[in-house]
Amino acid sequence: MLQKTNRTTLVEQVALQIQALIESGKWPVGSRIPAEPELVAELGVSRNTVREAVRALVHAGLLVPKQGDGTYVSSASILGVVLQRRIRKSSLMETMEVRYALEQEAARLAATRRTQEDVDTMLHYLDICNKAAEAKDIKTYVEADIALHQAIVGATQNSLFIELYEHMTEALQESVNHLTEMKSHSDCHQQAHRDLVKAIVQQDPVKATEAVQRYMDYFREELKKEQCE
């Protein structure tokens, strides 16, 4: 149940409480928040106060209304909204350079901090990537590729790192889709994946960062070729 508030800035307080529930994961991205009457009853505030608080969060980008179907969570935090808006204004190359800068440090940290559970998760998604690449199943490959990189970032055991990377997922979806469409890219990308996971399993941070650098260099060259065509 939501905490009742007795402060004078009711709209702000209600908005902050709803935001806290979203950030805590109680209302995950894609879920529908309770209907207005439920929020009114739980908070003990007026319908107008709840409506204004929800409207403020819609304006901030955390919530999105769907006509006839309620209001849904669209982002896990304000930070996520800000990052996603900024990323959408960036070029594919800029986005990928930031992604790989994060991934290089993530690979280094993961190689020194990974647990056996982390290893099992990475191997699981690597296997899915391999099978999807062989079957030319781009949708499954993209989903598994993102999950694999999220697992690597998760192995850093750094909550801020994990949160920052999570907020890039939407932009990553587009960039990874673009990568899979590049001719002759799959074999190189898959080998880099295998080398990266192997280095993390063997707890070799140098080889792990080198693997990330290899597929970044390859992607940069492929993108240059594409722009020249």
pLDDT confidence of residue 168: 75
Percent of the chain residues topping a pLDDT of 90: 45
The model's pLDDT over 5-30, given as tens digits with 9 standing for 90+, comes to 554 588 999 999 999 988 888 888 88
> Helix or strand or coil: residue 90?
coil
Report pLDDT for 173: 60
Q: Is the dihedral of CA 108, 80, 224, 139 positive or negative?
A: positive
The mean pLDDT of 127-149, rounded to a whole number, is 88
Residues 218, 111: one domain? yes
CATH of the domain at 69: 1.10.10.10
Would you say residue 100 lies in a domain? yes
- Are 23 and 104 found together in one domain? no
Average pLDDT over residues 113-132: 96
* 3 part of a folded domain: no
Does 40 or 77 have the greater pLDDT score?
40
Q: pLDDT (tens digit, 9 = 90+) per residue, 78-101?
A: 877 887 778 778 887 888 788 888
User: CA 199, CA 211: separation in Å to the nearest integer?
Assistant: 8
For the record, the structure tokens of 111 come out as 């190689």
| pLDDT higher than 50, residue 184 | no
The mean pLDDT of 164-184, rounded to a whole number, is 63
Count of structural domains within the chain:
2
Number of alpha carbons in the 13 Å side-chain half-sphere of residue 10: 15
Residues 68 and 84 grouped into a single domain: no
Q: What region, left, alpha or beta, does residue 63 occupy, with left being phi > 0 and alpha being psi -120 to 50 degrees?
A: beta
Single out the residue in 52, 76, 100 at which a domain terminates: 76
- Neighbour count for residue 192 (Cβ, 10 Å): 20
Q: What is the mean pLDDT of the segment spanning 182-205?
A: 83
Q: Tokens 């001719």, residue?
A: 183
Mean of per-residue pLDDT scores for the chain: 85
* Cα angle 160-164-165, degrees, rounded to a multiple of 5: 115
pLDDT at 183 over 50: no
Q: Which of 111, 84, 112, 110 is nearest to 98 (CA)?
A: 84
> Within 10 A of 184 (CB to CB), how many other CB atoms are there?
8
Task: Provide the CA 209 distance to its chain's centre, in angstroms.
Answer: 21
Taking the C-alpha atoms of residue 229 and residue 222, their distance in angstroms, rounded to an integer, is 11
What CATH code is carried by the domain that includes residue 159?
1.20.120.530
Domain final residue, candidates 76, 96, 120 = 76
Residues 181 and 90 reside in one and the same domain: yes
pTM comes to: 0.72
Q: Burial level of 202, CB count in 10 A (0-12/13-18/19+)?
A: exposed
CA separation for the pair 8, 81 (Å, rounded) = 28
Q: Is the pLDDT of residue 187 over 90?
A: no
Q: Are residues 115 and 18 both part of a single domain?
A: no
For 89, the enclosing helix (H) or strand (E) is none
pLDDT of 29: 83
Angle at 175 between CA 119 and CA 140, to 5 degrees: 55
Average pLDDT over residues 111-134: 95
Q: Residue 71 — pLDDT band, cuts 50, 70, 90?
A: very high
Domain of 45 in residue numbering reads as 10-76
Q: Who wins on pLDDT, 79 or 162?
A: 162
